[in-house]
Amino acid sequence: MAFLSSFPEIEFSRPLFAGILGNTALSMVPGISGAGSTPERTVFTPILDAELIVKGEIHSMGYKPNTPTNCPTPAVITRSMLQLCGIEPVFVNAGMFNRPTVPCLDVYGDAGADPRQGDAVPRAHAIFEAGKRAGRLLSGCADLLVLGESVPGGTTTALCVLRALGYDARVSSSFVNNPVEQKEEVCRAVVARVRESGVTDPLDVVRIGGDPMMAVAAGIVCGFSGEVVLAGGTQMLSVNAVLKGLGERMAPLATTEYVRADASANFEAVAASVGAGAWYVDPGFDTIGDAGLARYCEGEVKEGMGAGGAILLARIMGYSEEEIRSAILSTVLSFR
């Protein structure tokens, strides 16, 4: 495939990258999330991602930023692109179990609860409004906002919200073998809870069955005055589904070819039925020269922390495909 599925025609002079950090208790359910060496540790991954991107190393826990199978975490890719572009990223804390180790624009949300057992995001409407204000604030700093996220377990909440909003979605996973049955089981329980409650407002759907990132991301898109690119796969698709349900503008998506190619999911079809445009980035990790990155092509990791959108940003800022590939490889090798 081409490096970019099509070249975005976006006019901008001040680009900004923001990454939303969020937790859902679902990531601690064994089997749901691959974003951490143990289920309990998955909740720290957004914090470590942000620390890696800002500081270029993970002081606070002594981890290597690679998966157990030696795939680089996608935050490494995001870091390499932001370094290449000279962009100082902003992190937004949507709701976490633990305190981040880098400064964040904090909307003072709570970590998402297990949506099978009660409201996942009781303050969904309030943090949507806080997200709007965050978006207005960022409008003073940029006219293009590439918005990524790091929410372990978030593809499962995305499945719940997309289904509850009526989309025939199947969602991606950072595992090679997507734990589809386990996600479906969670989803059946959550969709049943949404149906019983009789809600129709999409923020009520997030309240019952989503995660804090969704409400905050939707708010930021509403509050930001310039162009927004939602950098991510099915999780960002769920944000667009929420925005559509609210009657607000949607934002185009940017994600990796590895998400589109995931046969266990149906990203492209759901994007089409939501009506959201999408760009797909194929950085050619099969030939880049790192065995861990090559595993992305076999369906491992695939995307995360806005990596696909960060690559797209570098490209539209004028960096060549080879400059981009070379920056990714050298950053990945520096963490080996």
* Calpha distance 210→134 (Å, rounded): 20
Give the one residue of 20, 28, 52, 54 binding a second copy; rule: CB under 8 A: 54
Q: Which stretch binds a second copy (CB under 8 A): 95-103, 173-181, 264-272, 290-298?
A: 95-103
- Give the phi and the psi of residue 288 in degrees, each rounded to 5: -75, -25
Asked if 83 interacts with a second copy (CB under 8 A), we say no
- Give the phi and the psi of residue 43 in degrees, each rounded to 5: -65, -20
Closest approach, Cβ 54 to a second copy, in A, equals 7
Asked if 225 interacts with a second copy (CB under 8 A), we say no
Closest approach, Cβ 31 to a second copy, in A, equals 31
Closest approach, Cβ 283 to a second copy, in A, equals 26
Helix (H, G, I), strand (E, B) or coil at 319: coil
Q: Beta strand pairing status for 144-150 and 253-256?
A: unpaired
Asked if 289 interacts with a second copy (CB under 8 A), we say no
- Of 47 and 236, which has the nearer Cβ to a second copy? 47
Give the one residue of 103, 118, 166, 289 binding a second copy; rule: CB under 8 A: 103
Asked if 130 interacts with a second copy (CB under 8 A), we say yes
Asked if 100 interacts with a second copy (CB under 8 A), we say yes
Strand partners, 13: none
Q: Does residue 280 contact residue 256 with C-beta atoms inside 8 Å? A: yes
- Of 137 and 199, which has the nearer Cβ to a second copy? 137
Q: Does residue 308 contact residue 236 with C-beta atoms inside 8 Å? A: no
Asked if 317 interacts with a second copy (CB under 8 A), we say no
Asked if 318 interacts with a second copy (CB under 8 A), we say no
- Of 105 and 160, which has the nearer Cβ to a second copy? 105
Q: Does residue 157 contact residue 210 with C-beta atoms inside 8 Å? A: yes
Rg (CA), the chain: 18
* Calpha distance 297→255 (Å, rounded): 14
* 1 Cβ neighbours under 8 A, 6+ residues apart: 257, 280, 282
User: Helix axis angle, 154-164 relative to 234-246, nearest 10°?
Assistant: 30
147 is written with which tokens?
Answer: 């918005």
Q: Which stretch binds a second copy (CB under 8 A): 5-13, 132-140, 149-157, 306-314?
A: 132-140
If you ran DSSP here, which 8-state letter would residue 242 be given? H
Asked if 147 interacts with a second copy (CB under 8 A), we say no
Asked if 151 interacts with a second copy (CB under 8 A), we say no
* 212 Cβ neighbours under 8 A, 6+ residues apart: 22, 23, 24, 94, 95, 109, 110, 111, 112, 121, 124, 127
Asked if 90 interacts with a second copy (CB under 8 A), we say yes
Asked if 140 interacts with a second copy (CB under 8 A), we say yes
Give the one residue of 5, 66, 97, 106 binding a second copy; rule: CB under 8 A: 106
For residue 231, give the H/E element and its range: strand 227-231
Asked if 62 interacts with a second copy (CB under 8 A), we say no
- Of 87 and 206, which has the nearer Cβ to a second copy? 87
Asked if 41 interacts with a second copy (CB under 8 A), we say no
CB atoms closer than 10 angstroms to residue 133: 14
Give the one residue of 35, 84, 134, 236 binding a second copy; rule: CB under 8 A: 134
Closest approach, Cβ 141 to a second copy, in A, equals 4
Q: Does residue 131 contact residue 212 with C-beta atoms inside 8 Å? A: no
Which residues are at the interface with a second copy (CB under 8 A)? Answer: 14, 16, 54, 88, 90, 93, 99-108, 130, 133-134, 136-137, 139-142
